[in-house]
């Protein structure tokens, strides 16, 4: 992945996490897993 792709992926991941936190502020195991999955997209 090039640097732009990594940056775009990290921004999308942050946006999804913020949306999940806004919609469901208390802990939920499924949402926790869904928030962890996109971070693997930009793992090198």
The pLDDT of residue 35 is 80
Per the structure, how many domains does the chain have? 1
Give per-residue pLDDT as tens, 1-44: 688 888 888 888 889 889 989 998 898 888 888 888 877 776 65
The pLDDT of residue 44 is 57
The span from the CA of 8 to the CA of 15, in Å, is 11
Domain around 37:
3-42
The pLDDT of residue 43 is 63
CA nearest neighbour of 21 among 42, 33, 9, 35: 35
């Amino acid at each position: 992945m090039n640097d732009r792709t990594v940056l775009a992926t990290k921004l999308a991941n942050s946006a999804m996490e913020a949306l999940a936190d806004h919609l469901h502020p208390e802990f939920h195991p499924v949402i926790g897993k869904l928030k962890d999955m996109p971070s693997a997209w930009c793992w090198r």
